[in-house]
Each structure stands twice: as structure tokens, then as C-alpha cells.
Amino acid sequence: MKVNDFTTVPLGTILPFALDVTCIPDGWLLCDGKEIPTKYKTLRESFKIYNTPNLIGRTLIGSGMIKDSISAQSDGKSPNFGGPASLTLGYTGGEYQHQLTINEMPRHWHKINGGNFGLHHRSFSGSGDSDIPFKTNAEAARVLTGTDYEGGDAYHNTMQPYYVINYIIYAGSE
């Protein structure tokens, strides 16, 4: 059965489409953000923006009020969702890559215990079997408080595992 044989598909229905864009049936448009042809007047007027949704590189998420529609997870905690309280139809969000900010990192401190070092030679275990030596003087107890910063400022990928596919929208008959 071909997709265009369906007669009860509602206007604006979006479906995943595994074939090449050259195989999109009549009455269907690629969800690529391009202008909806004027011959699909009803769809154009329904969207009021005259473009198909741009779903290239995007996943879909349901619209509505987040606080009312999501209950606690099995661990009793609320889902980790930092978006708006209401997801309006057509809203977009998310990032392809994200660089953690200081506020997003768990608050932590790497304290060096040792009391009043006085005049000593000490070492900390380094990577492998190496030790990292350091020397203190009598004032060290007032100066030595923690470790150096660790890590870089690189962006990291936040995308879930994915399979690339086209999305098409039913525009109706001409």
C-alpha cells in the first residue's frame, strides 16, 4: 500500500519517511522549513507562518504544560527537564553541543588535609606510579587550601543515539 492511498490522514500529520526525498508522494511535503506552496492553502492558513516545520536534525516532543503532564520518576525525583513550563506548538529548543557552565557543575572542593605542615617535604600520588613532590615552609598551613583546577573548556555532544530519517507532512490535495 502506498502512503498516498490513505484517505483519512488528517491535514498536518507528520510521519517518518525512510525513502529519499525524490520519492515523497503527492500531497506530502518534506519538513525542512521551506515555504508551503500556495496550492496548499488550507495547510498554509492553519500554520499561519507559511513554512513547513524544520525537522532537519531535530527530534519531536509533545506540546502542552510540562508541570501538569509529568509525574515523578520511579526514583521519586522529578524528571531532569530545564525547559519552559509550557511547550507551545512550533517551539524549538535544545543544543547540538553544550559547554558546562560553573552553575551546572556540582559544587565541590578538593581539600588538602595535613594540618600545620610546618617545614616539610611531602608528595601526592600522581598518575601511574609517579609522585608529585612539594615543599612547604612554616607559613604553609595558612596558604595551602586546595588543589588546582582540572579539566578543559571543550564542548561535548548532548545528542541521544539516533538514526537519520526524513519527516514529511500531509499538505492535503491540491
Least confident of 20-24, 33-37, 59-63, 147-151: 147-151
Question: Three-state DSSP class for 97?
Answer: strand
Q: Give phi and psi for 28, each to the nearest 5.
A: -120, 145
Residues in contact with 29: Cβ distance below 8 Å, sequence separation at least 6, in sequence order: 36, 37, 40, 52, 168, 169, 171
Residues in contact with 140: Cβ distance below 8 Å, sequence separation at least 6, in sequence order: 116, 117, 118, 120
Q: Is the pLDDT of residue 56 over 50?
A: yes
Helices marked H in 27-128: 41-47, 66-69
- Whole-number pLDDT of residue 161: 74
Q: What is the secondary structure of 125-163 as a DSSP string?
A: E-STT-EEEEE--TTHHHH--BPPP------EE-PPP--
- Judge contact between 5 and 27, C-beta under 8 A: no
For the stretch 64-106, pLDDT in tens is: 776 655 555 565 555 555 555 667 777 777 777 778 887 777 7
Least confident of 91-95, 123-127, 137-141, 150-154: 137-141
Q: What does the mean pLDDT of the chain come to?
A: 75
pTM for this model (two decimals): 0.60
Distance CA 110, CA 80 (A): 27
C-alpha grid cell for residue 158?
Answer: 548532548
The total of other beta-carbon atoms located within 10 Å of residue 136's CB is 17
